[in-house]
Amino acid sequence: MDSRTVLALCGLIVSSSYLSLTYDKSYAFDRPVHTSITVLAAAGIVLIGWNRVVRLIWRGRPKSQEYNALPLEELRNESPSPRSPRPRSPLPRSPISPGSPRFANGNGFPKSPKTKSDPAPPPSLKKLRITWVFLVVAICCRVKLLHWIARESQCATRSYVWAIPLVIALHDFWTVRRHEQFNEQDVVSPSRLAVIRSRITQSRYRFLLPTMCLALGSALVMAAADLPRSTYICAEVFRYRGIVPFSQALATMLDCCIIISSVGLVSRGRVSQTQEARSYSAVGWAFLSSSLILALGGTLVVIFRPGYRHWAFSLSFYYIRSLCAFASAALLSVLCALFALDGVGPLTTSVIVAFVCTYSRDSDSAWINRGPYPPVNTSLVLFSIFLYILGTFWYTRIGTPNEEYHSARSAKQRSSLVRLPGWMSITIVILFLLRIFLALSRTGQLSIHPIDEMIGNAQSLHQSWLKKAQAAESLSDAVSQYRIRYHRPPPPMFDQWYQWAKNKKTLIMNDFDQIHEDLLPFWGMAPQEIRQQTRDLIVNPANEVAGISIRGGRASIASNIPSEHKRMLDGLVNMVAKFAEYLPDMDLAINVLESPRVAVPYSTLRVMRDMGLRNADDRNTKDSSFSGDRGGQWQTITDGPVENPPIFQDNAGNQAFSEWGSVSCPTMSPSRLQRNWDLARLCTSCAAPHSDKSGAFLSNWTFSQDPCHQPDLASLHGLYVSPPSFRVHHNLLPVFSNSKAKGFQDILYPSIEEYAANGEAIHAPTDEHPDPPFAEKESTLFFRGAASEGISTGNNAWRSFLRQRFLHLLSPGAHTGTTSPILLPARNSESFIFSNIPDDTLRALLPANAKFTEIANCIDPDCILERVQFESASEGATSPPVSFQDFWKYKYLLDLDGSGHNTRFTAFLRSHSLVFKAGILREWWSNRVTAWKHFVPLDVRGHSLFPTLAYFHGFPETQDSKEFPPHEDAAQRIAEEGKRWADRVLRKEDMEVYMFRLLLEWGRMTDDRRDELGFGAREKWWEGTHVGIGQGKGDKKKSTLAKFIGGG
């Protein structure tokens, strides 16, 4: 084997391994046609250019340096023994032009007498042209299939890459090997062992058998270690549900045809280096022609379907970056594969690629999923590993067929062997041992159920948090705790806030980390700029931002507010009016949409946050009173020109994760580097950081809302997939919102609908709709709500929305044919094991009553398809509206994110029912509740729903497990803890205390002298026992703080 072939094989191994590990996480597959055009064009240009360079190099050389082929009869006569293989030429043979003067027969071979052993002559020019055209057509069809499969990947099955070497081996057997005959006279040693060995190494089946082992082992290991399917809906109403797996199989067959056709163009008789380059040039022209045909087709689509124009040309930075990396690896893989095809043939090349891809994916999955979830059959995995590694090792020890179909003189010469390097066999043995170690080191059982452990941990975590967050013993203690937490003195009028909170009997006095986090970036913005931006936001109604003005201790609504928002703003004014006399003059820009509005890029946000943290302890605080001319600092809202252009960018109905949802994440975080376009499989690596040690249950609810380690969130929530109302900006703007996803920089404030109790989502049991004790409720998981989380505008985006996915999972008629791992007590031990239970069985054994009340936020045909889907799955697409007070008769209440803030959750907590919650939206109370103590958290992927419900409801025995008794005592304890906690810290009074504290902080933030302001600054309260006196514009009386010292 020459050095060029060895280098080609090494490059092929490295590039194939990289592609197999990254292809399903690459932005390049967001636009598979764009990517394919780029890779094909680059490969074609490189191959054509190489041909030109080689021709220029060899053009000036004398003919004496050019290798000329000799008649094969001479080699036969000079061969020292019948069993000696024909030596390879110093230069690989390349095709020659028909009609060459040195070859009178015009087909690339010298004239010689015909014998029975002579093979058929090389293919004619007509056949080569047909092969070339077929290659172009096959490549175009393969790209189209790739686009189709990537777009509908939620219906895809496992890859068929394992079948490629088997198909090529069958092709090799049918076209070459089946005519071979074993002759014992060719065996030099007469021993029986030598005869057996020769029978194996020279058998016509010698390449078919090891590739069968490789293919079977690869298929089995993919099936045994397969990840659970995602909850992304592969809808029964779509005709392509069964077409996508068929398309995958067809794509694999096209891959085989492309490989064999490329061999037909590359592996032909050659007489010179220039002719060798010309054979690669033919493949290069096929690649370039395919890319041009695909580009032309894309151009026609853009011309005749204008709706695709924006998508076709709006290439994001993330896509371009991934395209460069992916295209470079793919180009290297294609070039190395072509050289390998010429050096060792298509069969050996496909065996190496199949082994590398299978081993890379299998080992990567085994490394990530080292816990008991998802469950795997260890025995089957070990057998599969042994089988596919045995097949590869067997193949390397036999040798590789030198696929010179059209240049050998006889079948015997056609089967000459080229031994692969010995280091390949050694490497395979080492890889086998490493993979066996990974398989045996995997944890398969758990001694304690993770939910038991998480409930205990939640109790300790909550007590630790409460100890630091609850009421301070005195004002001086509250000031000291503030300084320790936030590294600056409290804002002016902090004493009035403290007394207000004391009078309201609020429990939480110290922990207002949400306010600190929301306002920290604004320390990097000048107060004058904040005030100007506030005015610009409010004056133009097109910004969908309402204005609240506080002047002289009175709050009022800006005059240009649409009437549909006035009711909500009246509630906000009524809340602020209770403590407005202590507030400085200010204006507030209130978001009237349900979605967040501000997403600042990480590089900008980091600078602004650092400015807020830098030298906070050394601020030159001199005064404990707000500036006296606050009213003059704020421009009158009505004075601004209404014709100012809107500030926000309207992105409703478009993908929002890459540009908005993850833009505030660190540059090297997974969500900025990866794109999980394969929707068919659960992304266990995305869920692992916030899951328990088993990997099946959500353990860190706060961290689960962080998008930075979860690139798959791009297709799991309506806010990221297709938000119904989404007007956003990348600059830091002072917008107050009821809710936001982590990563947005809106300023959270309490929900006015919940505060005013005007919405229906309040806990108000009556004699007709009582809230009975937990034990008397119906043991059912209950949900009612509208399909309003995102908007589906003709692209069937509803299949990925959170509410739709969960309801599809719970619908009794949704025959998905999938299974879910459930953690159950092992039959023969005291430990717990995961068992794969069919989803249809789980729906029958775990009672749920989940339906939509309305199919909303969609346009036809999506509305029709969605309605038909849930009609067939739930015996009716929607349920008639029920009274909200009807919810209390069920033990388990399911709360799922809608399009914005949620008034249901706190009402659910106040009931005697246990709340199951899944979502990513945060509100003012998010830091106050503790998962597994006050409610049950669910991962938005939905994979934890059935295992969690089985824990509380119980599960009957199965073939592998004992009966799992219900844990209703734990469910009742969490439900009652949640109710007591909501009645203590989520009251209307607690909302007022939070809003009062927020506006004091905002008052200081917008003051031109904010670096000089701090409660008690003059008296240096942190060094002595005296406390300064705070005075604000609305507070005409000087208040002495001595009465607060010592908690008095």
Q: What is the pLDDT of residue 576?
A: 95
Average pLDDT of the segment spanning 73-89: 41
Q: What is the pLDDT of residue 843?
A: 92
Show Cβ contacts of residue 902 under 8 Å, excluding neighbours closer than 6 positions: 739, 895, 919, 921, 923
Q: What is the pLDDT of residue 190?
A: 61
Query: How crowded is residue 98: how many other Cβ atoms within 10 Å of its Cβ?
Result: 14
pLDDT tops 90 at residue 294: yes
Q: What sign results for the dihedral spanned by CA atoms 866, 868, 870, 871?
A: positive
Q: How confident is the model at residue 930 (pLDDT cuts 50, 70, 90)?
A: very high
State which amino acid sits at residue 747: I
- Residue 313: helix, strand or coil by DSSP? helix
Show Cβ contacts of residue 303 under 8 Å, excluding neighbours closer than 6 positions: none
Q: How confident is the model at residue 237 (pLDDT cuts 50, 70, 90)?
A: confident
State which amino acid sits at residue 635: Q
Q: How confident is the model at residue 397 (pLDDT cuts 50, 70, 90)?
A: confident
Q: How confident is the model at residue 313 (pLDDT cuts 50, 70, 90)?
A: confident
Residue 849 contacts residue 780 (beta carbons within 8 Å) = yes
* Rounded CA separation 276/52 (Å): 12
Closest CA to 547 of 496, 593, 588, 603: 588
Task: Tally the residues of the chain.
Answer: 1048
Residue predicted with more confidence, 1018 or 232: 232
Residue predicted with more confidence, 536 or 1045: 536
* Rounded CA separation 868/876 (Å): 9
Structure tokens at 1017: 């600054």
Q: What is the pLDDT of residue 416?
A: 38
Q: Highest-confidence range of 104-118, 193-207, 937-951, by mean pLDDT?
A: 937-951
Whole-angstrom Cα Rg for the chain: 36
Structure tokens at 96: 């020659």
* Rounded CA separation 591/981 (Å): 29
> Can the peptide bond before residue 492 be classed as cis, meaning omega within 30 degrees of 0?
no
Residue predicted with more confidence, 175 or 277: 175
Q: What is the pTM of this model?
A: 0.86
pLDDT tops 90 at residue 714: yes
Q: What is the pLDDT of residue 619?
A: 61
| Domains present along the chain, CATH in parentheses | 3-65+91-108+121-173+198-440 (no CATH), 454-671+699-749+990-1047 (no CATH), 772-922+929-985 (3.40.50)
Which ranges in 578-712 belong to alpha helices (H)? 602-613, 630-633, 670-673, 684-687, 701-704
Share of the chain above pLDDT 70, in %: 82
CA dihedral 14, 9, 128, 122 (to 10 degrees): -170
- Residue 655: helix, strand or coil by DSSP? coil
Q: How confident is the model at residue 199 (pLDDT cuts 50, 70, 90)?
A: low
* Rounded CA separation 546/193 (Å): 91
**Residue indicated by tokens 């929002």:** 656
Q: What is the pLDDT of residue 1035?
A: 40
Q: Which residues pair with 922 in a beta bridge?
A: 740
Average pLDDT of the segment spanning 6-30: 92
* Rounded CA separation 626/585 (Å): 10
Average pLDDT of the segment spanning 1034-1046: 36
Q: Which helix (H) or strand (E) holds 551?
A: strand 545-551
Q: Which residues pair with 268 in a beta bridge?
A: none
Q: What is the pLDDT of residue 795?
A: 84
State which amino acid sits at residue 701: W
Q: Are strands 914-918 and 890-896 parallel, antiparallel or unpaired?
A: parallel
Q: What is the pLDDT of residue 942?
A: 95
Q: How confident is the model at residue 413 (pLDDT cuts 50, 70, 90)?
A: very low
Average pLDDT of the segment spanning 965-984: 96
Q: How confident is the model at residue 782 (pLDDT cuts 50, 70, 90)?
A: very high
Tens-digit pLDDT profile for residues 343-392? 888 888 999 999 999 999 999 999 998 889 999 988 999 999 999 999 98
264 phi/psi in degrees, rounded to 5 = -60, -30
Structure tokens at 470: 């609850």
- Residue 972: helix, strand or coil by DSSP? helix
Residue predicted with more confidence, 2 or 324: 324
pLDDT tops 50 at residue 116: no
Residue predicted with more confidence, 812 or 878: 812
pLDDT averaged over the chain?
83
Tens-digit pLDDT profile for residues 501-532? 999 999 999 999 999 999 999 999 999 999 99
Q: What is the pLDDT of residue 1046?
A: 35
Tens-digit pLDDT profile for residues 322-348? 999 999 999 999 999 988 887 888 888
Q: How confident is the model at residue 980 (pLDDT cuts 50, 70, 90)?
A: very high
Q: What is the pLDDT of residue 113?
A: 45
pLDDT tops 90 at residue 708: yes
pLDDT tops 90 at residue 5: no
Closest CA to 325 of 15, 725, 596, 594: 15
Residue predicted with more confidence, 780 or 187: 780
Q: How confident is the model at residue 88 (pLDDT cuts 50, 70, 90)?
A: very low
Tens-digit pLDDT profile for residues 656-681? 999 999 999 999 999 999 999 889 99
Tens-digit pLDDT profile for residues 243-292? 899 999 999 999 999 999 988 888 764 445 556 667 788 899 999 999 99
Tens-digit pLDDT profile for residues 437-479? 999 988 889 999 999 999 999 999 999 999 989 877 889 999 9
